[in-house]
Structure 1
Amino acid sequence: MGDTGSLRLVPHCPRLLIALVLLGLSFTVSVAGAFNYADALTKSLLYFEAQRSGRLPHNQRVTWRDHSGLTDGLEQGVDLVGGYYDAGDHVKFGLPMAFTVTMLSWSVIEYSGQIDSTGEMEHALEAIKWGTDYFMKAHTSPTVLWAEVGDGDTDHYCWQRPEDMTTSRRAYKVDENNPGSDLAGETAAAMAAASIVFRRRNPHYSSLLLHHAQQLFEFGDKYRGEYDRSVEEVKSYYGSVSGYKDELLWAALWLHRATDGEYYLSYAINKAHCFGGVGWAMTEFSWDVKYAGIQVMASQLLMNEKHGVHGHVLQMYRSKAEHYICSCLNLNNGSNVDRTPGGLLYVRQWNNMQYVSSAAFLLMVYSDQVLAGSDEEIRCPGGSVGRAEVTAFVKSQADYILGSNPMNMSYLVGFGPSYPRRVHHRGASIVSYREYRGFIGCTQGYDNWYARQEPNPNVVVGALVGGPDCQDNFFDQRGNYMQTEACTYNTAPLVGVFARLMQLEGQSGELEDGIENFPLRASYRK
């Protein structure tokens, strides 16, 4: 489960030497040459197949999974089969799922050529479409969007495979009387971004996505309110701390990018102040808090001369985008993102890696799209930096994830020789349903599988776990969910990051471990 976000600025920590920070030189950088980013990209996309809910397709590569959640929505008279489980549990939460799809789509939009060169484009499209197919089912009328399937509290009483679920599959919705502008806005953003991805590849599907996105934006804007007030069951898991104004701005910018419509751009310009777009100076970007992403997207619009009439407001957006970047580079005065001794961005204790991967993506996009082709520098209070320094910092964070860290461990499961073996994940920690079809109940799962000291019988390849603590320590224990649980929105931004780093390093799409040879299922011992 994800933690609730926060708008507070992360406390300042003592600055590392700027040169070391920008070059990403933590004290354990001892890996010869670059990591195989193509391999990391391939494995990242594989992870989404492990998180699928519903009836699995014939080309399913994660063979330890099987069909699940086949009656989702039945109790409410609606078909809600499909979509993604967010993490190591079996609730389908709409807000983080939509953000996952938005980030996957943004990765493909910005780095399609690089992804295509690895032969992974089809898998990327499948990962996006598995989410958007579900969103279209969940959007049953212009002003109804199903927000959640399952219940977090009852789900946590059980330790079961998804194929054996006995917990509640009740579905919850937002509508005119029970608004959810943040959920509607993020889902609109996801579908608008995906419509760009499929525009040439599947024009009819793209048009359908855009239609849903426009309806959802109108619904979210007309009937305003936080979704966690309408669906109180979500509060403990994915409460909307930032409110809904960031999601409405986010959706407007994505709809503008999808349609080139002036209405959506004017919305983001006219509400820039009152919705906080040019007011919030951020030090995080997440499934809950979208402001830094909004500010980077708005900065990209400055590259187009036809938006000159909005130049003043767009420059204010850019100023806040650069505050975020400076905070990541440890070059602000008093409002930097904290660091571990090994150089990893550190926002908070629970599932910190989500903030690392999303920051790496935003900085890479800003470097490529706003700073590209110019001698411009970002003028931070602690010094000016250019494109090369920003890119070097992104690489340092990606390399930390892949093994250049004090633990000498890859936090991307399945990558390299050392990675977490006891991921907090119900399906991975219990013998595969395809190997043992006998029923495993709630308490049986806890008694026989949860407390086992052995590695998980199934490997969740491509999962980015929560990661180390503020001192670079990591404890590979199944019950240590703050560090060993992985989420879909952790991995999604890495697709674009790995694709771009692969190109920068001049790597081919060859893999270290072919997927067909990878041990997707470890040996099972009773």
Structure 2
Amino acid sequence: MGASQGADGPAGLPRLALLGLAALLCCSALPRFALSTEYNYTEALDGSYFFYEAQQAGPLPTWNRAARWNGGWRDASFLNDGSDIGKNLTGGWFDAGDHMKFQLPFGWSASTLAWSMVEFPAAYGPPSGSLFQTVRRNLLFAADYIVRSHVNASDVPGENVYAAQIGDTDTDHARWCRPEQCPEIQGPYRPTWVADRTRPGADIVGEAVASLVGVASVLKMENPADPAIPLLMTHARQLYAFAKAFPGTWEIPAGDYPYRYGTHKWQDDMLWAAAWMCRAGEGASYCADAVSFWNVGSNMGIGWCPGMDWDNAFNQASVMMLGMADRFSASFLTTVRTRLDYNLNLWHVSTVCTQPPPNTDSNGDGLVDDGHICYSPKGFAHESTWGTARITANAAALKLAYSKYLPTNPEDAKRQRCWARKQMRLMLGDWGRSFVVGFGCNPPVRPHHSSTMCDRDYSITCDGNTAADPRPNPSVLRGALVGGPRKDDYYVDDRMDYILNEVAIDYNAGFTVALAGLLQLSASTPDWDAYCGTAPTPITCPWACSSCDSGTQPGSNLASQRSNCYSCVNARGVSKSWQCHACVGNATYVASQGQHCLSCVSAGADAWACQSYCTDLSSDIAVLPSCTSCVADPAVRSAGPWRCSVCMAPSVLAKGAAAVEACMSCVRSLKGPYACAVSV
């Protein structure tokens, strides 16, 4: 006789065991929860450039994937930039979660992205491919801003003027707002500061030169006769001559707000610029300058650092020079390699961050001081508290690039590559969660970023109260690397914790190089685990399902709600599973609200929209299907799902479910929502 069947399944199998089995199946039986032993570096690489598109200021190009007309949330912003000096300085990238435009991190980021293309070209595919074209468009967007920032271009060095910064940090950081609406909130004060012969800035200008030559080099990979190349190179030569004739680090004029991206030295930026000019075949004088700047820098603090960033390009310039054996002497390149060996091997220590050696815990917090490299209990490398993932990703980028130039030392090349892979895997998910927005298992959903925290409906106020809202950001800043965990492996996904959850254009620059390096090197390393001598680690995300269990609210249909949450996770995938969890994690919801929220998210809508415009407004099961169907409708999502909420107004709800459905049907036809509400 077969086993009898009960309401909970086969007799003798407890209800909780069934639920546990369901979770196990959700997490292990479906391919998307046990993908492989390697992360999808192509997806992460593409996401990184999506982040840069989300950071665009000024009029947005039609191809911007974060733009409202492409299903995103962004639109034109700060259209008067530069007007105070009579110039059009719209465009460029916002620096971080704010709306400042700093040329130093901007130039370093753009030149570093170009470096990823020339150092790891195979990662981007053929010039006709979609990824290559995505990068090309983004780099041209950056180069266009740099060219227009060269507000007075001349072959006479002392006549050049370059816009060094736009925006007042005190004003900008005082308020949260949509970039599209900030001028109305902050007022007209958005000054432009420049570098000229009286206030030189070889650091900022050097990075601009590197960017222009880098973008020209990328264009040459597709078409050596591209008409933009001569223009970019002309500006590069003029700016290089200006910076060389008037050296020094840029300073804001006395009396103005002093915050800026200050740099310790300018020699590394000019080294980076000279190395690019030398690589581009601009002449022996630039190669000689590169040697001179390298020799000077090698005897300064900038020459004895383990990484790279907007404040120090010495190591990445050194790696680039190793690829130009035909332009530098063998003895010089041996010296360069010796220094890189020393600097990059500083990462290979055994210090545990929570076990500080003597004299490395000056504040008594039980953690190794900044400036000393250490490893968290989970193995994450730390050199600083602020932006630790950025610093470690930059080191990974350097190590992967440097490993290309160690043909006679394959063991050291392996050591550098395997260290980089391990650290990048920790960022992508091996730590226990992803630190990349919109990617992998349990990614951050509350990055410290103003435009994504604002409702997509521009008529809804976005301010400091919005910033304090604990719900996930309504828009997903896909591809952005957040600051990352502390040295003791503490991390909280909190928008207001800007140390752990800051995002910035320089955070993603080295991270992008490292992704490209892993992607290109994977072609010759099909089995990284065998190569590195590590045990295979399947990429799983049990969190995606266990959060359905822990978040589900008590009710008579507990198992059904969990099942619907699993189905939602399966429909949206690991990287979007947090949207499903938002539906079942609201303690104020009755079962019907959670179920319809899940249905809405499963259909492709954002959880924020499903909740804010439908399930937060009513628990009436008779009206929720009409609303969630409206929010999930692709045409409505593109036009603005806030339209559906008009039909959930008390005046319409009072007329009953039929009136709500008629109103929603009207909205789905893209008629004016307020007219739809009045007509029913």
**TM-score class, shorter:** 0.7 to 0.9
Give the stretch that moved more between structures: 497-506 or 93-102.
497-506
Question: SS at 2:319's partner residue?
Answer: helix
Asked if 2 retains the 8 angstrom alpha-carbon contact of 1:249 and 1:277, the reply is no
Which residue of structure 2 lines up, in the alignment, with residue 27 of structure 1? none
Q: How far off is 1:235 after superposition?
A: 4.9
Asked if 2 retains the 8 angstrom alpha-carbon contact of 1:295 and 1:321, the reply is yes
Which residue of structure 1 lines up, in the alignment, with residue 98 of structure 2? 89
Does 1:140 pair with 2:159? Answer: no
Query: CA, structure 1 residues 403+31, in 2 after alignment: closer, same or farther (shift >3 Å)?
Result: farther
Query: CA, structure 1 residues 521+231, in 2 after alignment: closer, same or farther (shift >3 Å)?
Result: farther
Question: SS at 1:288's partner residue?
Answer: coil
Matches within 5 A, 1:385-404: 385-404=411-430
Does 1:375 pair with 2:408? Answer: yes
Give the counterpart of 2:208 among 187, 192, 195: 187
Query: CA, structure 1 residues 518+216, in 2 after alignment: closer, same or farther (shift >3 Å)?
Result: farther
Asked if 1 retains the 8 angstrom alpha-carbon contact of 2:116 and 2:513, the reply is yes
Which residue of structure 2 lines up, in the alignment, with residue 55 of structure 1? 59
Does 1:427 pair with 2:451? Answer: yes
C-alpha distance in 1, partners of 2:197/2:149?
Answer: 15
Query: CA, structure 1 residues 258+233, in 2 after alignment: closer, same or farther (shift >3 Å)?
Result: farther
C-alpha distance in 1, partners of 2:177/2:309?
Answer: 28
Query: CA, structure 1 residues 389+47, in 2 after alignment: closer, same or farther (shift >3 Å)?
Result: same
Which residue of structure 2 lines up, in the alignment, with residue 206 of structure 1? 229
Which residue of structure 1 lines up, in the alignment, with residue 176 of structure 2? 159
Give the counterpart of 1:460 among 458, 466, 477: 477
C-alpha distance in 2, partners of 1:356/1:514?
Answer: 23
Query: CA, structure 1 residues 160+210, in 2 after alignment: closer, same or farther (shift >3 Å)?
Result: same
Higher relative contact order structure (alpha carbons within 8 Å, sequence separation ≥ 6): 1
Q: How far off is 1:105 after superposition?
A: 0.3
Which residue of structure 1 lines up, in the alignment, with residue 380 of structure 2? 344
RMSD: 2.7
Question: SS at 2:194's partner residue?
Answer: strand
Asked if 1 retains the 8 angstrom alpha-carbon contact of 2:209 and 2:236, the reply is yes
Give the counterpart of 1:236 among 259, 269, 274: 259
Question: SS at 1:178's partner residue?
Answer: coil
Query: CA, structure 1 residues 474+31, in 2 after alignment: closer, same or farther (shift >3 Å)?
Result: farther
Question: SS at 2:471's partner residue?
Answer: coil
Query: CA, structure 1 residues 283+512, in 2 after alignment: closer, same or farther (shift >3 Å)?
Result: same
Give the counterpart of 1:411 among 422, 435, 439: 435
Query: Computing the radius of gyration over CA atoms, which structure comes out larger, 1 or 2?
Result: 2
Query: CA, structure 1 residues 518+162, in 2 after alignment: closer, same or farther (shift >3 Å)?
Result: farther
User: Where has structure 1 moved over 6 Å in runs of 4 or more?
Assistant: 511-515, 517-520
Which residue of structure 1 lines up, in the alignment, with residue 464 of structure 2? 446
C-alpha distance in 2, partners of 1:232/1:250?
Answer: 32
Asked if 1 retains the 8 angstrom alpha-carbon contact of 2:443 and 2:575, the reply is no
Asked if 2 retains the 8 angstrom alpha-carbon contact of 1:172 and 1:231, the reply is no
Query: CA, structure 1 residues 518+98, in 2 after alignment: closer, same or farther (shift >3 Å)?
Result: farther
Structure 2: gaps of 5 or more residues = 1-33, 67-71, 154-159, 352-359, 361-370, 527-571, 577-601, 614-680
Which residue of structure 2 lines up, in the alignment, with residue 312 of structure 1? 331
C-alpha distance in 2, partners of 1:353/1:396?
Answer: 13
Give the counterpart of 2:136 among 103, 125, 150: 125
Question: SS at 1:146's partner residue?
Answer: strand
Give CA-to-partner distance per residue, 1:162-204, whole Å, 9 cap, x none: 0011333211111111111100111111111111111243522
Question: SS at 2:403's partner residue?
Answer: helix
Asked if 1 retains the 8 angstrom alpha-carbon contact of 2:388 and 2:483, the reply is yes
Asked if 1 retains the 8 angstrom alpha-carbon contact of 2:307 and 2:344, the reply is no
Asked if 2 retains the 8 angstrom alpha-carbon contact of 1:34 and 1:505, the reply is no
Q: How far off is 1:453 after superposition?
A: 0.9
Matches within 5 A, 1:204-283: 204-228=227-251, 230=253, 235-240=258-263, 242-276=264-298, 280-283=303-306
Question: SS at 1:193's partner residue?
Answer: helix
C-alpha distance in 2, partners of 1:503/1:113?
Answer: 6
Does 1:112 pair with 2:145? Answer: no
Q: How far off is 1:45 after superposition?
A: 1.4
Asked if 2 retains the 8 angstrom alpha-carbon contact of 1:330 and 1:336, the reply is no
Give the counterpart of 1:68 among 55, 77, 80: 77
Which residue of structure 2 lines up, in the alignment, with residue 15 of structure 1? none
Asked if 1 retains the 8 angstrom alpha-carbon contact of 2:307 and 2:398, the reply is no
Q: How far off is 1:130 after superposition?
A: 1.3
C-alpha distance in 1, partners of 2:397/2:105?
Answer: 17
C-alpha distance in 2, partners of 1:338/1:260?
Answer: 42
Query: CA, structure 1 residues 234+223, in 2 after alignment: closer, same or farther (shift >3 Å)?
Result: farther
Give CA-to-partner distance per residue, 1:82-111, whole Å, 9 cap, x none: 000011000111110111101110111122
AA aligned to 1:148 is Q
C-alpha distance in 2, partners of 1:413/1:520?
Answer: 17
Which residue of structure 2 lines up, in the alignment, with residue 330 of structure 1? 349
Q: How far off is 1:505 after superposition?
A: 3.8
C-alpha distance in 2, partners of 1:512/1:111?
Answer: 29
C-alpha distance in 1, partners of 2:313/2:254?
Answer: 21
Asked if 1 retains the 8 angstrom alpha-carbon contact of 2:201 and 2:250, the reply is yes
Give the stretch that moved more between structures: 117-126 or 352-361.
117-126
Asked if 2 retains the 8 angstrom alpha-carbon contact of 1:456 and 1:522, the reply is no
Query: CA, structure 1 residues 255+504, in 2 after alignment: closer, same or farther (shift >3 Å)?
Result: closer
Asked if 1 retains the 8 angstrom alpha-carbon contact of 2:268 and 2:294, the reply is no
Give CA-to-partner distance per residue, 1:142-173, whole Å, 9 cap, x none: 31000111111100111001001133321111
Give the stretch that moved more between structures: 480-489 or 192-201.
192-201
Identity of matched residues, %? 28
Asked if 1 retains the 8 angstrom alpha-carbon contact of 2:439 and 2:575, the reply is no
Give the counterpart of 1:482 among 480, 493, 499: 499
Which residue of structure 2 lines up, in the alignment, with residue 287 of structure 1? 310
C-alpha distance in 2, partners of 1:233/1:352?
Answer: 31
Q: How far off is 1:141 after superposition?
A: 1.8
Asked if 1 retains the 8 angstrom alpha-carbon contact of 2:397 and 2:517, the reply is no
Query: CA, structure 1 residues 299+360, in 2 after alignment: closer, same or farther (shift >3 Å)?
Result: same
Matches within 5 A, 1:21-32: none
Asked if 2 retains the 8 angstrom alpha-carbon contact of 1:71 and 1:81, the reply is yes
Give CA-to-partner distance per residue, 1:321-343, whole Å, 9 cap, x none: 111211123389x9973222222
Query: CA, structure 1 residues 472+147, in 2 after alignment: closer, same or farther (shift >3 Å)?
Result: same
Question: SS at 1:120's partner residue?
Answer: helix
Q: How far off is 1:427 after superposition?
A: 0.4
Give CA-to-partner distance per residue, 1:374-428, whole Å, 9 cap, x none: 2326xxxxxxx421221111111110110101xx111111001311111100101
Q: How far off is 1:456 after superposition?
A: 0.9
Q: How far off is 1:459 after superposition?
A: 0.9
Question: SS at 1:162's partner residue?
Answer: coil
C-alpha distance in 1, partners of 2:605/2:236?
Answer: 36
C-alpha distance in 1, partners of 2:182/2:229?
Answer: 34
Query: CA, structure 1 residues 491+520, in 2 after alignment: closer, same or farther (shift >3 Å)?
Result: farther
Give the stretch that moved more between structures: 419-428 or 320-329.
320-329
Query: CA, structure 1 residues 55+345, in 2 after alignment: closer, same or farther (shift >3 Å)?
Result: same
AA aligned to 2:131 is E
AA aligned to 1:257 is R
Matches within 5 A, 1:288-303: 288-301=311-324
AA aligned to 2:194 is K
Query: CA, structure 1 residues 512+185, in 2 after alignment: closer, same or farther (shift >3 Å)?
Result: farther
Q: How far off is 1:345 after superposition?
A: 2.2
AA aligned to 1:86 is D
**Which structure features the higher share of helix residues?**
2
TM-score, normalization by structure 1: 0.83
Give CA-to-partner distance per residue, 1:214-263, whole Å, 9 cap, x none: 111111111122113558868534111x2111111111111111125210
Give CA-to-partner distance per residue, 1:116-158, whole Å, 9 cap, x none: 2673111111121111110000002231000111111100111
Which residue of structure 2 lines up, in the alignment, with residue 363 of structure 1? 399
Give CA-to-partner distance per residue, 1:282-338, whole Å, 9 cap, x none: 12311111122122223333xx2x346x33333222211111211123389x99732
